[in-house]
Homo-oligomer: A and B are copies of this chain.
Amino acid sequence: MTAPRLLDVAAAAGVSRATASRVLAGTPRNVDPDLARRVEEAARRLGYRTNHSARALRTGTTGTVGVVVPSLANPYFVQLADAIAQQVRAAGGQLVVSDAANSPAIEAEQIDTLLSGRVDGLLVVPVSAAASGPAVRAAAGCAPVVLFDRWAHDSGTVAVTLDNAAAMRLLLDHLDGLGRRRIALVAADQASSSGAERLAAFTAARGADAVTVLLPSFTTDAGRTAGRRIAERRAEVDAVVCGADVLAVGLVSTLQRSAVSVPGEIAVTGFDDTEMLELLDPPITSIRHPLADMAEHALALLQGPPADRAESVERFPPQLVVRASTDADVSP
C-alpha cells in the first residue's frame, strides 16, 4: 500500500491533476463547486496528504521558519520560542528551534544548517552584539533574516526588540516610588545587546558609582554569585534590579540563605517575566515582553519586502509586573 498521490485523487474524482491541485492547494478558486466537492471527497476517502517536499521544490517555499536562540536552558528563551511557534502555527507553518549553546561559532553553524534550503526565513536571537554580526549578515544574503529580542552590530538586517531603556526606567521609578533609594544592579552578559542596554540605562539613571555587579552569563548560578556579593554589601543596598529572571532566582535564594529578608531589607526585581517567577517565595517583580506582538511583527517582516528589513532596531514597549519581591502588599 503506497501513499496516494495527487494523480490518484484526480483519477478518483475524474478530473486532471491541475484541477485537483487547484482545489486542494486553494489557489485561484475558479473551480466549479461541484467538482471541488468531488475532489475533496476523493482526497478524504483515499487519505491523501500532500507531499511537502514536492510542493516545496515547485514553489520554492517550505512553510517552515527557523529560530536560533542562545540557550534553551534559559526558560525565557523557551517561552520566547513558544510565542513564535504559536504565531507560526496560526499561519499554518512550522517552526524549527535551534540552540546556539551561547557560542557565536555554534550559532553560525546552526544558522548555516537551517539555511540549507529547509526554511523560508530565519529568526535569530544573537548570542553576541559584536560577534554574531557576520554570520547573520551572510545569512541575510541568502534568505530573509530578522533578529529577535536582541540586535547585533553590522548584521545587515532589522531587529525586533524590547525597549530596554524604557523597561529599566519602569523598574527604577517603581522602586523609587516605594522609597528605595540605594538601588544596585546585577547585570550579566555584556556581550549581548540586551545585557549592555540594561546596564547602560541603569548607569544613565543612577550614575556610575551605584553598586553594580557584573556577571558573565545569564544563569541562575551567576545569580547566586551575585547574591553573595550583595549580601556582603547589604548596608549599602535596599533594592536590586537583576538583568534577567534567572539571575533574580539565584540571587533571592542566596540572600534568603544569608538571612536577608526580601523584600523587607532588600527588594528584588527580575527581567523577562518567565513563568517560574510566580511560583517562588516571594514571587518576583519583573518586566513582561509583549512577545506575541513582537513575534507577529517579526514574522510579518520576514515575509514582507526586503526593504523593510534594512538594518535598524525596532523597540516594543515593556510592561511592569509588580509582585511581592518589591511590594509585600501585593497578594502572592
Q: Residues on A close to B: CB < 8 A? A: 3, 49-54, 56-57, 62, 64, 72-73, 75, 78, 82, 85, 94-97, 99, 113, 115-118, 142, 220-221, 224, 249-250, 253, 256-257, 275-276, 279-281
Contacts and interface: CB of A to CB of B under 8 A. Distances in A.
6 contacts: A53-B117, A72-B78, A75-B75, A85-B99, A249-B279, A253-B281
Contacts of A54: 53, 57
Contacts of A220: 276, 279
Given A250-B279, A253-B279, A279-B249, A117 B72 contact: no
A52 B281 contact: no
Contacts of A72: 78, 82
Given A75-B75, A253-B281, 8 more contacts: A3-B142, A49-B115, A49-B142, A97-B97, A224-B279, A249-B279, A253-B279, A257-B281
A81 B76 CA distance: 16
Nearest to A219: B279
Contacts of A249: 279
Contact of A57 (B53, B78, B99, B275): B53
Given A221-B279, A249-B279, A280-B253, A57 B51 contact: yes
B53 A53 contact: yes
Contact of A275 (B56, B73, B115, B257): B73
A51 B117 contact: yes
Contact of A52 (B3, B85, B94, B118): B118
A303 to B, nearest CB: 19
- Return the 4 tightest CB-CB contacts between A and B, nearest first: A53-B56, A53-B57, A52-B117, A51-B117
Contacts of A94: 96, 113, 118
Contacts of A50: 116-117
Contact of A117 (B49, B64, B221): B49
B99 A82 contact: yes
Contacts of A279: 220-221, 224, 249-250, 253
B49 A116 contact: yes
A115 B51 CA distance: 10
Nearest to A250: B279
A74 to B, nearest CB: 10
A152 to B, nearest CB: 22
Nearest to A275: B73
Contact of A116 (B52, B82, B276): B52
A279 B280 CA distance: 12
A285 to B, nearest CB: 17
A47 to B, nearest CB: 8
A134 B48 CA distance: 19
A57 B51 CA distance: 8
A53 B120 CA distance: 12
Nearest to A118: B52
A253 B41 CA distance: 56
